[in-house]
Amino acid sequence: MTDYSGLIADADRTVSGALGSAPTDVDVPLVLRDSETLAGRIDHTLLKADATATAIAALCDEAHEYRFASVCVNTRWVPMAAARLAHSDVIVCTVVGFPLGAMTRRAKAEEARITVSEGAGEVDMVIDIGGLLSGDLVGVYEDMRAVVDAVGPVPVKVILETCLLDEEQKAIACLIALRTGAAYVKTSTGFGGGGATAADIALMRTIVGDRLGVKASGGIRTRRDAQAMLAAGADRLGASASVAIVSGADAGEGDY
């Protein structure tokens, strides 16, 4: 098992230097963290730009049939998905600031607020990646917190885009998320050039412990992929190949 203690200590000093001592009273919304079935751990996802109403309808119907945890769709499709799944236990999850995370925090927060008013039950937000890479940790915190405050008590998953970060930056992002009231940290958008890895999931789980959920997304196409992520510490999985994963069939190329 990898020893992350030195890395985490260094990251914690960096975050505390920028934001002060970590608060001890952060409220985190209750959120689905486990299930008796593999399907119940999967966010059935379709985020491609060319997704059509017909494809979104099929996504919702598959989610209902296979009892996935959620459908994850762009904000454009939230009202339709919410209506189609109104009599289902499937959550409507959406993404904001997607896929770049580079818009103003006011715009990101307002997008989140609107989409919750239209039926989203979970919000996956892309962090201010450029701010993190620039060392603006206050800005990164305020960006996350703006979305959390805009939708509370709806759970927020914070997308790190791990393929663009080194290990210390991943640790810093997780430590900031712990201060905000976010419910999850999540690896990837699926559009950043890389997806989830077991090593990243293990690191994220070590940092957040049991306080937050961990979601693996990007490049999960087979049951073996899914099981590897769960074994590494993921609570939830984001995948477009969800039906193939739960049926044990090999999925084709492409993601989301």
Burial class (CB in 10 A: 0-12, 13-18, 19+), 64: middle
Catalytic residue among 157, 186, 200, 255: 186
What is the Cα–Cα distance from 3 to 165, expressed in whole angstroms?
19
156 pairs with which residues across the strands?
123
pLDDT tens-place string over residues 78-108: 999 999 999 999 999 999 999 999 999 999 9
Closest C-alpha to 154, from 110, 117, 205: 117
Is the Cβ–Cβ distance between 160 and 182 less than 8 Å? no
Question: Would the pLDDT of 68 be above 50?
Answer: yes
Is this structure's pTM higher than 0.75? yes
pLDDT tens-place string over residues 128-160: 999 999 999 999 999 999 999 999 999 999 999
Catalytic residue among 108, 157, 170, 215: 215
What is the Cα–Cα distance from 256 to 240, expressed in whole angstroms?
5
Tell me the CA distances in angstroms from 118 to 111, 150, 255, one per residue in order.
11, 14, 26
What are the domain boundaries of the chain? 5-22+29-247
Q: What percentage of the chain exceeds 90 in pLDDT?
A: 94
ω into residue 23 within 30 of 0, thus cis?
A: no
Residue 164, pLDDT score: 98
Catalytic residue among 43, 124, 200, 225: 124
Residue 193 has which token pair?
């050039």
Sign of CA dihedral 43, 47, 185, 22: negative
What is the Cα–Cα distance from 194 to 239, expressed in whole angstroms?
14
Active-site residue, 124 included: yes
Burial class (CB in 10 A: 0-12, 13-18, 19+), 110: middle
pLDDT tens-place string over residues 194-226: 999 999 999 999 999 999 999 999 999 999 999
Active-site residue, 215 included: yes
Active-site residue, 170 included: no
96 pairs with which residues across the strands?
125
CATH of 5-22+29-247, one of 3.40.718.10, 3.20.20.70, 3.90.950.20, 3.30.70.100: 3.20.20.70
The radius of gyration of the chain's CA atoms, rounded to the nearest angstrom, is 17
Tell me the CA distances in angstroms from 236 to 76, 83, 227, one per residue in order.
23, 24, 11
Across the range 163-176, mean pLDDT stands at: 98
